Amino acid sequence: MSVIEDVFSYVDENRDRYVELVKRLVSQPSVSATGEGINECADLVAEALEEHGVRAYTYTDHGGSPVVFGEVKAEAHATIMFYNHYDVQPPEPLDEWVSDPFNPKVAEGMIVGRGTADNKGNIAARIAAVDALFNTLGEVPVNVKFLIEGEEEVGSPSLARFVELHQQLLFADGCVWEYGYRDKLGRPVLNLGVKGLLYVELEVREGRGDLHSSWGALVENPAWRLVKALSTLRDERGRVMIDGFYDDVEEPGQRVLEMLERIPAEVYDASTLFGARVLEVENPARRLLLEPACNVCGLYSGYIGAGSKTVLPAKASAKLDFRLVPRQRPEDILAKLKKHLSNMGYGDVEVRMLQGYPAARTDPEEPLVELITSTAAEVYETEPVVLPSGYASGPMYIITNTLGIPCVSTGVGYYGSKPHAPNENIRIQDLITGIKHIALTMLRFHRALH
């Protein structure tokens, strides 16, 4: 047997052990929005790394949730980094789960539980790949670094500080980002970037208490005012109407446009994927992957419980996110939003920034892109779908911009993994295939990048 066959056979033989590793990580709550279980999960991740041959260190000097750094020093002339996060979204609504979200259930070839896809299944897959190489070859043929944080689901507010304090520790030739999935045709979907994010809360408040709704004939209702303010931000086709919003959006290069043309419609066909009504846009793939957007995430005012309550509320609030593209800066968009509201006569709308970070994108010509793409094609036995940028957001800019390391995203999810939703899951076969993909990437890493 070849080295690759030996490694793949070992992964298959240890299938149950690697499933148990996923279950073990998922069983520990780690909700960054509330802080539940964060420290305990960091300890568990460090323990899992150590048990599988990775030296682990836990850092708390950056002022946020613990960062777990793992390292395998192979004395090689190439270094691969894995970025992941151990924190998860809140599990609510609990009544929509088929089982306890933190007591993972294995059924019908799937592992169901909060964090299986986002992101503990991917942590487990990367640890398992290192484990398989150690137990097959007696070594890992590349230096390996794990950067596993606990604040991604709340915007990674302290990760930049950690990197500032430990920049020399984080040198690598390439980084494999946290997630990826298989589409309905079984093709792995790889991302070369992510969008940036500006998440804000808008509030209109009257200097009074709630009133009987009969006073609505004379008294200003902050809910109406907020809705009118929101209506000035975006047109019916989804184009943002804030002056200067698109000033820093650059035209994509020819290579990126060519990649766009090769993306199957199934990847971005929201009508088929979700049964959703879609906006009328000329190029849906370009809009989703390469253009910024504005979205209302939540609205609150007055009484929203069961039954009726005739009330004239004293305040109204909305939460919005702006998905940004390279060169757009969250601070600049925030200033333009405030100026827009003032110019439109809504200067009384209070704007609070809750999260923000810029976009990131890796050059398609980077050798890392060819490596991840070719190894995916070999392991999955089908050509992968390569996206110039994902449509979600994350702190990848810290890897690509601050550290100057190219980054490609791949992972063990699939189109039905339901990240952030009830019954989040991964398929066991995708986990096993994902482990093999990471193992093969490490086997080929030195030759491909040097």
DSSP string, 414-439: ETT--TTSTT-EEEHHHHHHHHHHHH
What average pLDDT does the segment 220-245 reach? 97
Contacts of 164 (CB under 8 A, 6+ apart): none
Distance CA 120, CA 154 (A): 16
Q: Which two tokens stand for residue 329?
A: 């800066």
pTM exceeds 0.85, yes or no: yes
CATH of domain 196-248+283-357: 3.30.70.360
pLDDT of 101 above 80: yes
Query: How confident is the model over 294-346, as pLDDT tens digits?
Result: 999 999 999 999 999 999 999 999 999 999 999 999 999 999 999 999 999 99
Which percentage of the chain shows pLDDT scores above 70? 100
DSSP string, 127-171: HHHHHHHHHHHSS-SSEEEEEEES-GGGT-TTHHHHHHHTGGGG-
> β-strands 67-72, 315-324: how paired?
unpaired
On the CB side of 367, CA atoms within 13 Å amount to: 12
Determine the residue type at 326: P
Determine the residue type at 88: V
Ranges of CATH 3.30.70.360 domains, the chain: 196-248+283-357
Contacts of 251 (CB under 8 A, 6+ apart): none
CATH of domain 3-194+359-449: 3.40.630.10
Query: How confident is the model over 173-188, as pLDDT tens digits?
Result: 999 999 999 999 999 9
Residue with tokens 């690697």: 18
pLDDT at 448: 84
What average pLDDT does the segment 436-446 reach? 97
Q: Which two tokens stand for residue 414?
A: 């699939």
Band of pLDDT at residue 268, cut at 50, 70 and 90: confident
pLDDT at 273: 79
Query: How confident is the model over 223-235, as pLDDT tens digits?
Result: 999 999 999 999 9
Ranges of CATH 3.40.630.10 domains, the chain: 3-194+359-449
Query: How confident is the model over 360-414, as pLDDT tens digits?
Result: 999 999 999 999 999 999 999 999 999 999 998 999 999 999 999 999 999 999 9
pLDDT at 1: 64
| Terminal alpha carbon distance of the chain | 27
Distance CA 140, CA 132 (A): 9
